[in-house]
Amino acid sequence: MAHNLSEFKLIHWIRQQSTQSHPDLQTGIGDDMAIMQMGGQQLLITTDMLLEGVHFDFETATLEQVGYKSMAVSLSDCAGMAAVPFIAVVGVALPKEMTMEQAKQLYQGLQKAAEQFNCPIVGGDTTRWDKPLAIDVTMLARQGKHPPVHRSGALVGDIIMTTGTLGGSLAGKHLDFTPRVKEALALTDLVTINAMMDVSDGISSDLRHICRESGVGAVIEAKSIPISAAVERSVNPLAAAMNDGEDFELLFTLCPENASILEQKWPALSDLKLSPIGRIIAADKDASDEGYRVFLKTSDKTITPLEPKGWEH
């Protein structure tokens, strides 16, 4: 569930409206997924609406790729909470000129991603209109061996880490990424992860979500950010790595002792790179924005506030 800033205002308003309480409900709008109690088990749910011209277009993507991405985005939400994908339902608004054959290609992409994680598509709603393609995937997940990891658990002193490399997703990765479901479960199996989410908006935005939900601040080090090969030769590789978004990597925090354990044990488990990129600091209660700030420390040792998508060299 990724949102731009104006949508956050709307979501904040929706949160306030929610006058209903439910004894079986734990986490509502704000995390990667909402959590419910169901027959003694934890059940998680997420929904993602993907739109032609916004999240994909058919000049650069095939129908199968679009289907794959639509499912993989929700799988990545499961990864962001270290939950096990269970089932998916798909609502689709097909453009009226789309042929049966084309609709099948779209579904093949959806199935391909779903099957990778043993998450069957159990239902759907298929409609047609004379407008572009819209796909909404809703996914249920179950707790794995360990409880789901929230955005709200970051503690002052935590190390901030990411998986993989960041930036340049539009060059192709946004259509063909592997949701980090297995890695998230492996991480929580090794150590306690205090806070986690998947990187959908870029770490300049997403780290702020963790800070806001946890009531903390953060400092990240420019030199530590793992920059994707896709942006190494771009005008501003660091800005691309922090702002491009749709990396679908994991962004998480853990105590320094656990970070050391992880760095020792991880290479035996996975080829996926882990990078410590900074530290969680105390929020500045006196700041006008409630102090849930992310700062960037550059090579010349200057520390400047990092605005969501706003950092330019």
Give backbone dihedrals phi and psi of 2, rounded to 5 degrees, phi first.
Answer: -105, 150
Cβ-contact 110, 21 below 8 angstroms: no
Beta carbons within 10 angstroms of residue 69's beta carbon:
26
| Shortest distance, position 142 Cβ to a second copy, whole Å | 8
Of residues 154-183, those binding a second copy (CB under 8 A): none
Per-residue x/- mask for a second copy, residues 32 to 61, rule CB under 8 A?
-xx-x-xxxx-x-xxxxx-x-xxx------
Of 86-94, 152-160, 165-173, 252-260, which part binds a second copy (CB under 8 A)?
A: 86-94
CA 29 to chain centroid: 15
Rounded to the nearest 10 degrees, what angle do helices 181-190 and 256-269 cross at? 130
| Shortest distance, position 90 Cβ to a second copy, whole Å | 7
Query: Quick one: 1 or 159, whose CB is closer to a second copy?
Result: 1
| Shortest distance, position 183 Cβ to a second copy, whole Å | 22
Among positions 66, 78, 83, 93, the unique one binding a second copy when judged by CB under 8 A: 93
Binding flag, residue 9, a second copy (CB under 8 A)? yes
Among positions 5, 57, 60, 128, the unique one binding a second copy when judged by CB under 8 A: 128
Among positions 5, 29, 287, 303, the unique one binding a second copy when judged by CB under 8 A: 29
Binding flag, residue 12, a second copy (CB under 8 A)? no
Binding flag, residue 198, a second copy (CB under 8 A)? no
